[in-house]
Chain A
Amino acid sequence: MNVKVEVIGVSPPCQRCKTTEENAKKAAEKLAAEGIKVEISKLNVASQETISKYGVISSPAIAINGIVKIMGKVPDASVIERLIRQSITS
């Protein structure tokens, strides 16, 4: 199982974006133990690349397998974990 998680934040990262990324990493570690591979990448919210992919969003945001699930707030690791699980079952 391979899940792509994108953490979309400002660059240089602000505190909230950093916490979001850390929480995503925590969720990934937990899922790795169950054999679920999570690939985390960072996107700059103000880059043309991000805008053409997702439009205007407020940071920090999290996209899973190319769909923005959370924007404008810092999700807990458990929330990210649940979202990743959902993306596998659906």
Chain B
Amino acid sequence: MNLLEKKRALKTISMLAFITFFIAMMIRAIVGAYTLTPTSTAEDLQGLPIWEIPLVYMWDYAQHGWICLGFAFVVSGLFAEFIPKPFMLKYMSSRKPIAYVIAMLIAPLFCVCSCTMVPLFSGLIYAGGGIGPALTFLLAAPANNLLADIVTIQVLGWQIALADIIAAGVSAVIIGFIVSKTPWGKRFEQKFQKNQAQTTAIELIEEPLDMRLWSALKFGGYLAKRIIPAFALGLVVVSYVQAFFPAELVKAYLTRSTGVIYSAMLAGPLYTPTLIEVALGKALVNLGMAPAATIAWLMGQPYDIPNMLSTSRIVGWKIVITYGLLAFLAAIFSGLLYGVLTGGF
């Protein structure tokens, strides 16, 4: 082994150690049932001076949350780097049923950044991939992206997270399928039928492991840099909600079956990045929001207004309103179903 090879081997080992560290810490936290979420209650926060509330809450979060966030960023980077993209894109832009499965299961794993999502969506459509799988992808990607899933599991517990993941995935497929059968969906599809994608012009280079690990970590770091400031700002808001929002209001309106409908109505227009939505959901849960309403709350992501506006430029209003309405109904239905199955109203 010469010096250069030794240096690279050392680099690889230290990167693997870094990755293993976060995975091990996460497993330890799960096995030890160690809480990774803030433990402050309204009583703890209310006694503090007004400027101190967000600081205490954020410190509380940082103490527990760094493992979870670190793990989420590391794993997101790894997935983005190691999932074979050309293979996936090829199947997703076909019109076979497998396209739905790929769009639901695999696409969210690597689309952690919104700047890849909308372009991919329009790409799938222009390539003649069919509106159904493309919509499934558009709805499932933000709702079920890896980063959001990890944080949801840790913040709201695995029962709620699992129910949300399944409900969001299944409804994304159903909505995509229904829209592709509407007259306006079919008309839209026909416009792009001729554009069959050609993939002969792609010959990705193979890079050695150390370089791939490095770009995975770099991407994780990039995500952290983009997301953490917004997340911190979200925590400031959440800390005030936790401290001052009247629990009676939450208990009166966000419980029972009417609570499911109210929270589905609230979650859409109230545009919040996924991670903040989860933190805000936790604050509301602490204040007494029912589990069924929480599911509806979490499923509000796909029909937020900015998201629908940017898609409408590509597919037109009719399709956007159809899927928005369906997603709203799916949120209510999933919330109610969860309530009925678990008694969590």
User: What is the bound-complex CA distance between A27 and B64, given in angstroms?
Assistant: 43
A42-60 vs B: 1/0 string, CB under 8 Å? 0001111001111111110
Interface centre among A47, A51, A67, A71 (most CB of B within 10 A): A51
A1-25 vs B: 1/0 string, CB under 8 Å? 0000000001000111100000000
- Establish whether residues B222 and A16, one from each chain, have CB atoms under 8 Å apart when the complex forms: yes
- With known contacts A59-B116, A74-B215, A74-B218, A52–B195 Cβ distance under 8 A: yes
Q: CB within 8 Å of B: which of A37-87?
A: 45-48, 51-59, 63, 66-74, 79, 83
B203 at the interface (CB under 8 A from A): yes
B281 at the interface (CB under 8 A from A): no
User: What is the bound-complex CA distance between A66 and B86, given in angstroms?
Assistant: 16
**Shortest Cβ distance from A6 into chain B, in angstroms?**
11
Chain A residues whose CB sits within 8 angstroms of the CB of B80 once the complex forms:
72-73
* Interface bracket on B: 35 or more
User: What is the bound-complex CA distance between A76 and B238, given in angstroms?
Assistant: 39
User: What is the bound-complex CA distance between A27 and B174, given in angstroms?
Assistant: 47
User: What is the bound-complex CA distance between A57 and B126, given in angstroms?
Assistant: 12
Task: Mark the stretch among B42-50, B117-125, B333-341 that contacts chain A.
Answer: B117-125
- With known contacts A46-B119, A72-B80, A74-B218, A56–B127 Cβ distance under 8 A: yes
User: What is the bound-complex CA distance between A67 and B86, given in angstroms?
Assistant: 13
Contact of A51 among B110, B126, B207, B222 (CB under 8 A): B126
User: What is the bound-complex CA distance between A11 and B85, given in angstroms?
Assistant: 21
- With known contacts A57-B202, A67-B202, A73–B219 Cβ distance under 8 A: yes
B300 at the interface (CB under 8 A from A): no
User: What is the bound-complex CA distance between A57 and B198, given in angstroms?
Assistant: 11
**Shortest Cβ distance from A18 into chain B, in angstroms?**
11
How many interface residues does A have (CB within 8 Å)? 30
User: What is the bound-complex CA distance between A66 and B198, given in angstroms?
Assistant: 13
Closest to B222 in A: A16
Closest to A8 in B: B119
- Establish whether residues A56 and B201, one from each chain, have CB atoms under 8 Å apart when the complex forms: no
Chain A residues whose CB sits within 8 angstroms of the CB of B226 once the complex forms:
15
Contact of A58 among B120, B205, B211, B219 (CB under 8 A): B120
Chain A residues whose CB sits within 8 angstroms of the CB of B129 once the complex forms:
56
- Establish whether residues A59 and B127, one from each chain, have CB atoms under 8 Å apart when the complex forms: no
- With known contacts A55-B199, A56-B92, A56-B123, A69–B204 Cβ distance under 8 A: yes
Closest to B124 in A: A56
Contact of B89 among A10, A58, A83 (CB under 8 A): A58
- Establish whether residues A51 and B115, one from each chain, have CB atoms under 8 Å apart when the complex forms: no
Please give 18 more A-B residue pairs, beta carbons under 8 A apart, in addition to A16-B113, A55-B90, A72-B80.
A10-B116, A46-B122, A46-B123, A52-B126, A53-B198, A54-B198, A54-B202, A55-B127, A55-B198, A56-B129, A56-B197, A59-B115, A68-B201, A69-B203, A72-B110, A73-B215, A74-B219, A83-B205
- Jot down 8 A-B pairs with beta carbons below 8 A, ordered by A: A17-B115, A57-B85, A63-B201, A69-B205, A71-B86, A72-B80, A73-B81, A83-B205
By Cβ-Cβ distance, the 10 closest A-B pairs, closest first, are A55-B197, A14-B115, A56-B123, A46-B122, A51-B126, A46-B119, A68-B202, A56-B89, A45-B119, A55-B199
